[in-house]
Amino acid sequence: MRFIETRAALLFISPWILGFLIFTAWPVINSAYLSLTDYDVINDPSFIGFDNYVTLFQDPKVGLALRNTFLFTVMSVPTQLVVSLGLALLLNSATKATGFFRTAFFLPKMTPPVAVGILLLMLFNGQNGLINSFLGVFGIDGPAWTTDPDWVKPGLVLMSLWTVGSSVVIILAALRGVPQELYDSALVDGAGWWKRTLRITVPMISPTLFFLFIVDSINALQSFTEAYTAFFGAGNTTYSNDAALFYAIYLFQQAFEFLHMGYASALAWLLFIVIMAITGVQILVTRRFVHYEGGNS
Amino acid sequence: MKRLRKILTWAALSAFAVAFIYPFIWLLSASFKPRSEVFDHRILPETFTFDNYIRVWQEAPLALWMFNTLLVTALAAVTVTITSAMVAWGFAYFRFPGRGALFGVLLATMMLPGAVTMVPVFLIWNSLGMVGTLTPLWAQNLFGSAFYIFLLRQFFMGLPREPFEAAKIDGANNWTIFTRMALPLCRPAVVVTLLFEFQAAWTDLMRPLIYLRDSSTFTVPRGLKALLDQFGFGGEWHWEIVMTASVITTIPMIILFFLGQKHFVKGIATTGSKG
């Protein structure tokens, strides 16, 4: 009986086991090996020891790409969290047409990232983009978002705010789960809106905020499509795109534009270590601010 | 006081809603403007024209790109849903030695950045002579996907066991129990998986960039990037063409959202709470 059940279970999960062996386990092993080789796909890989890892630390573009990626992550993740929390709080206190507003906030998330990259170029165009025309109404002379290296990343951050819709939906679901009694007793005590938000709402939904903080950071560290669309690719030589060189973009270029498969594998392992380290630090530092109903586990 | 707060909330929500929706309107409107008026920021075009749509249709094999994308997207969504559901059921219903450890491995694979496996997986498809075809864009889904397996397992775990045990005693085999009982019961989660993967496959740019070489094999997002490189940056600055193509790429996703709005919102809300 036990044996039959195990056999049936293995049949059901066999697709994943096969897929895991072919598309995860073997690639991980192969990637570790390739990172110690010089390999251009056409000729056989030649073993070069840790040379790729040495090169990596001397390659100025690696430093640049890491710096760009960190800056983008540090700027975009907290702003996205604050904006999506704000929108979710607003939605939660509204009584009418919440469905309409939720749709409005979520819809941009459906836009293919490549189209988001193109919209970025159009909306943030320094001369005649919509953003600068809008700023012009208030007499502000907007920067050259898409060409001035100092403004490229802020532009990407602002554009990323357009697609916070899914975070808004997640936070809103968490807000709806906060028990009403807590607010009722706070109201009896005469606590104002700010006090209730900071003392009750935020602690009660802190596990969700923590989850979004971690996941958004992991995603931001791997951002590729929007920046690649807007600042890289064939024919795109007119932009000062050093400022938008994210780590994932540099890795992609090394692998599939220069066919440096060995070096790209080493780059991938550095990214893995960086993400693990950052996630680890985030968990250690923020965990104590997270409140779990029924005790921390 | 309470009334004032209500009005303020409503005003703020409206302002944000306009900010979120306006780029769509701006883009749609620009796609109906002649080249010289694209950046005039009028909501309604001064000169209304369909020329951009005709021009995109002439310049790019758009119908072919649509067909390629639809094929990849349908195959990706259907295969990943069927296999992930199977695997999820295997983990949720059966008790077997090593179940916890195997599921732990599955969760661990979700932590692995795609960049680590990107190069070796490319080499696999390359050695199979599949680079340049659409196969690498979806065939991995035949083996399920950790995220959806996790999502569906959560759902299956919520079902009571008794009906399944009863069916078993009545002589139903495991496959029948899965397809006739478990799957229909977790229809909402199946729909969420289909929708999520449909969107992911439709909007993906990185894999088409890696695997597709010839313009006739392009998906719509890959084609849009090619159009941007040709008409946007290629010294011609025909942004009206690029914007029109962006509208065409985006509209199917907007339609998809309105078809499955409830499922999208519910699905995303669950992802957050299960994290």
- The minimal CB distance from A122 to the residues B178, B235, B239 is found for B239
Residues of A in contact with B16 (CB under 8 A): 87, 90, 101, 104-105
Above 90 in pLDDT, residue B223? yes
Max distance between CA atoms of chain A, in angstroms, equals: 79
Residues of B in contact with A16 (CB under 8 A): 83, 87, 106, 143-144, 146, 149
DSSP codes joined into one string, B20-82: HHHHHHHHHHHTTS-GGGGGG--SS-SS---HHHHHHHHHS-HHHHHHHHHHHHHHHHHHHHH
Q: How confident is the model at residue B141 (pLDDT cuts 50, 70, 90)?
A: very high
Question: How far is the alpha carbon of B127 from chain A, nearest alpha carbon, in Å?
Answer: 10
Q: For residue A219, what is the nearest residue in chain B, using CA coordinates?
A: B113
Instruction: Choose the weakest-confidence range: A145-149, A152-156, A167-171, B172-176.
Output: A145-149
The reply to whether B44 falls in a domain is: no
Q: How confident is the model at residue B235 (pLDDT cuts 50, 70, 90)?
A: low
Mean pLDDT computed over every residue of chain A? 91
pTM metric for this prediction: 0.93
**A-B contacts (CB, under 8 Å):** 272
pLDDT of residue B132: 96
Contact A108 B24 (CB under 8 A): yes
- The minimal CB distance from B120 to the residues A30, A211, A272 is found for A30
pLDDT of residue A297: 42
The reply to whether B55 falls in a domain is: no
Query: What would the pLDDT profile of A15-53 be if each residue is shown by its tens digit?
Result: 999 999 999 999 999 999 999 999 999 999 999 999 999
The reply to whether B51 falls in a domain is: no
Q: For residue A248, what is the nearest residue in chain B, using CA coordinates?
A: B115
> Which of B7, B8, B13 to mutate to test binding with chain A, by most A CBs within 10 Å of its CB?
B13
Backbone angles phi, psi at A252, to 5 degrees: -60, -45
The reply to whether B93 falls in a domain is: yes
- The minimal CB distance from A248 to the residues B9, B16, B115 is found for B115
- The minimal CB distance from B115 to the residues A110, A222, A261 is found for A222
What distance in Å separates the CA atoms of residue A279 and residue A214, rounded to the nearest whole number? 7
Cβ-based neighbours of A7, under 8 Å, separated by 6 or more: none
The reply to whether B16 falls in a domain is: no
Question: How far is the alpha carbon of A99 from chain B, nearest alpha carbon, in Å?
Answer: 10
- Of A201, A187, A261, A228, whose CA–CA distance to A36 is shortest? A261
Contact B27 A235 (CB under 8 A): no
Range of the domain at B97: 64-158+187-234+251-274
Q: How confident is the model at residue B273 (pLDDT cuts 50, 70, 90)?
A: low
The reply to whether B79 falls in a domain is: yes
The 3-state DSSP class for residue A37 equals strand
The 3-state DSSP class for residue B205 equals coil
Q: How many domains does chain B have?
A: 1
Contact A22 B234 (CB under 8 A): no
Residues of A in contact with B256 (CB under 8 A): 110
pLDDT of residue A240: 57
CA-to-CA dists, residue A161 to A126, A168, A198, B19, B26, angstroms: 19, 11, 23, 11, 17
Residue B212: give its domain's CATH number.
1.10.3720.10
pLDDT of residue B183: 94
Question: How far is the alpha carbon of A235 from chain B, nearest alpha carbon, in Å?
Answer: 5
Above 50 in pLDDT, residue A296? no
The 3-state DSSP class for residue A131 equals helix
The reply to whether B134 falls in a domain is: yes
Q: For residue A110, what is the nearest residue in chain B, using CA coordinates?
A: B253
The reply to whether B29 falls in a domain is: no
ipTM of the complex, rounded to two decimals? 0.93
